[in-house]
Structure 1
Amino acid sequence: MRYTLRQLEVFIAIAQSGNLTRAADHLAMSQSAASSALKDLESQFNLQLFDRVGKRLQLNEQGRLLLPEAMALTEQATALQNHLMQHQGTGKLRVGATLTIGNYLAVRMVANYMQQHPGAEVTLTVDNTEHIVDKVLNFELDVGLIEGEINQPELEIRHWQTDELVVFCHPAHPLAQFDQATDEQLQQARWILREEGSGTRQAFDRGMYGLLPQLDIAMELEHTEAIKRAVQAELGISCLSRIALEDNFRRGDLSEVKTPQRDFGRSLYIVLHKQKFRTAGLNAWLALCDETVA
């Protein structure tokens, strides 16, 4: 074989950091050894993977084409090593979830996974759809559970389960006294919404098509609980996943506002990189996802 896994690791580290020194530090090797490994890889195949811009190494088109294949190969090698050491154990699993899924579904799923696989190592990253997708694309996460709709040719996107958004308000708000709210009433309300780039905001904007320019958006917040607190403080009304509101509706500290003329249905998705090697742990997680469809 004309290349080594170490050469690929150096190439990947430089591509991710854009700096030879940081890449060498990350791999716990000298700068000269990292530089030599990159030069050997490039010279063996008579190609250049980076453009040299001052002290920065900028990935060029050839490098961008090679990067996902190199990452998939090194991950497969790591998985093989883990299998040899752990006798087909699940190894480390990096899960990403958007805020609603992460706060109300994924934590319980991680607990179930670790119960089924004692000793498994799992990390859970909770962020908005845009950021979770970026991390899956860059192989920083093994799998993502997202609320938003995306179109990324590098990703495998699976429908997971259905969900719906619900408009809600403080129990003393005038809208709480009506069986349902009209579009005119929705336009007159003051809104507290999730930020742009979140799956919840994407579904809300689609559901409110035709009314968006007329809405009074008083505040945009990144966290579901912060939005619920703001509505409880009578700062406005909002729209979030029913998953996040069931306990509040049961307690009566928030009230549902019915909007039958608006379609707030949506899908939740599983996203994986198409070139991601499916480890035993990842396959076990996907099986658990299938079991937890609502």
Structure 2
Amino acid sequence: MNFHQLHIFHTVAERGSFSSAAQVLHMTQPAVTMQVQALEDYFGTKLLIRSTKKIELSESGKTLFPYAQKSIDIAREADVAMSSFAHKLEGRLQLGASLTIGEYALPRLLGPFGQQYPQINIMMKVMNTTQIIEEICKHQLNFGLIEAPIQHPDMVIDPVMQDELKLIVPTAHPLAEKDEVNLEEVLHYPFVLREQGSGTRQVMEDQLVLQGYNPGDIKAVMELGSTGAVKSAVEAGLGITMLSPSSVKHETALGLVKIIDIRDVEFKRKFYAIHLKSTLLPISAVTFLSFLRQQK
């Protein structure tokens, strides 16, 4: 028995199919079948019940499954623990970052990371959360960084950074005369929103629900597909919005917009790393995520 066999068994059981597991593991189906059979031979019992429709766990398989899960978790924990000692890493990381993270949060961190690990080449795609999930599932990205938690049966989701949304208004707006406003007052004004599927929008709408409001009551004058477009619309006086202060530092310094606190409401959020449960991240990726967790 070895870890590789346990990982393959776990993936087949989780996916319910040898062919699906083979695709996820980048192996041939016969190779996956052979490794599972070797594990069954080792224990002297059938671990999987094979049928024409779906693979299911036998009683012995149900007993082994949590141990296989533990072995995968321990391997990930070991990667995290050892990443701080990995000073000679190399390779290419393919990651997806949602718009706020990719455009504003990460750029200031990539330089210091590159100085510490010059042999790691980061290839980053900036897209919304829905697109990131799709590309991870297609194995086109190693992992993604998103702005709101998701529920996905095939994904591992871990918090890595923190942020907070604030009310952003044009300097000529009536609310710009105040440093703090009530949420009820804010909702009387037209909003410029990010598109559906955006993590920024999800965090905003989730908090509105917690405060007893219906997100559908927001007076949305337009929905735009990037933070830059939203900022431009707000600067032009087309509406107000909720964005991360880090994304409007330049505009605030130039006096184009103002950041305002909403009384007794915090739109705090965490940025999350996501990847497939069936995929063990390379040590370079674990090192990068550990680096992000150490930042403030």
Q: TM-score band, normalised by the shorter chain? A: 0.5 to 0.7
Cα distance in 1, alignment partners of residues 250 and 267 from structure 2: 20
Q: Deviations over 1:18-67 (max 9, x none)?
A: xx9xxxxxx9xxxxxxxxxxxxxxxxxxxxxxxxxxxxxxxxxxxxxxxx
* Counterpart code for 1:121: N
Partners of 2:238 and 2:201 in 1: how far apart?
18
Question: How far does the alpha carbon of each residue in 1:252-272 deviate from its partner, in whole angstroms, 9 at most, with x for none?
Answer: 11x335343352332323424
**1:282 matched to 2:283:** no
Inter-partner Cα distance in structure 1 for 2:95 and 2:112: 14
Relative to structure 1, the CA distance from residue 91 to residue 256 in structure 2 (aligned partners, 3 Å threshold; closer, same or farther) is same
Assess if the C-alpha contact under 8 Å between 2:203 and 2:269 holds in 1.
no
Match of 2:199 in 1: 199
C-alpha separation in 2, matches of 1:246 and 1:267: 19
Q: Is the 8 A contact 2:164 2:244 kept in 1?
A: yes
One-letter identity of the residue aligned with 1:168: I
Q: What amino acid maps onto 1:158 in structure 2? A: P
Provide the C-alpha distance between the structure 2 equivalents of 1:286 and 1:136, rounded to a whole number of angstroms: 20
Deviation track 1:178-219 (CA, whole Å, cap 9, x = no partner) reads 343344432321110112222111111133343445321111
CA distance in 1, matches of 2:261, 2:114: 40
> What's the counterpart of residue 60 of structure 1?
none
Question: Identity of aligned pairs, percent?
Answer: 30
Q: CA RMSD in A?
A: 5.2
2:160–2:293 CA contact under 8 A, matched in 1: no
Within a 5 Å distance, the mapping from 1:187-266 to structure 2 comes to: 187-208=187-208, 209-212=211-214, 214-253=217-256, 255-256=257-258, 258-261=260-263, 263-266=265-268
Letter in 1 for 2:251: N
**How far apart, in 2, do the equivalents of 1:258 and 1:130 lie?**
29
The 1:165/1:277 distance shift into structure 2, 3 A limit, reads closer
Task: Write the distance in 1 (CA, Å) between the matches of 2:220 and 2:135.
Answer: 30
Paired with 2:160 and 2:285, the residues of 1 have a C-alpha distance of 20
User: Secondary structure in 1 aligned to 2:239?
Assistant: coil
Tell me, in whole angstroms, the C-alpha distance in 2 between the residues paired with 1:284 and 1:179. Answer: 38
State the Cα distance separating 1:90 from its structure 2 match.
2.7
Runs of 4+ that moved beyond 6 A: none
* Residues 98 and 147, structure 1, Cα contact 8 Å, conserved in 2: yes
Q: Is the 8 A contact 2:96 2:132 kept in 1?
A: yes
- Shift, 1:116, TM fit: 2.1
Where does structure 2 lack aligned partners over 5 or more consecutive residues? 5-10, 12-18, 20-25, 27-85
Q: Does the C-alpha gap of structure 1 residues 144 and 167 become closer, same or farther in structure 2, counting only changes over 3 Å?
A: same
Q: How many residues align?
A: 278
- Structure 2 CA distance, aligned partners of 1:184 and 1:105? 30
Question: Which ranges in structure 1 are unaligned for 5 or more consecutive residues?
Answer: 6-11, 13-19, 21-26, 28-86
User: Are the aligned partners of 1:99 and 1:127 in contact in 2 as well (CA < 8 Å)?
Assistant: yes
Instruction: Determine the C-alpha separation between the residues in 1 that align with 2:290 and 2:225.
Output: 28
Conserved? CA contact 2:160–2:289, under 8 Å:
no
Report deviation, 1:284.
Answer: 4.5
- Verify the 8 A CA contact 1:136 1:271 in the aligned structure 2: no
Contact 2:90–2:120 (CA<8 Å) still a contact in 1?
yes
TM-score, length of structure 2 as denominator length: 0.64
- 2:109 counterpart letter in structure 1: M
Checking the alignment, whether the CA contact within 8 Å between 2:96 and 2:127 is kept in structure 1 is yes
1:268 and 1:183 map into 2 onto residues whose CA distance is 22
Equivalent residue number for residue 269 of structure 1: 271
What is the TM-score normalised by the length of structure 1?
0.64
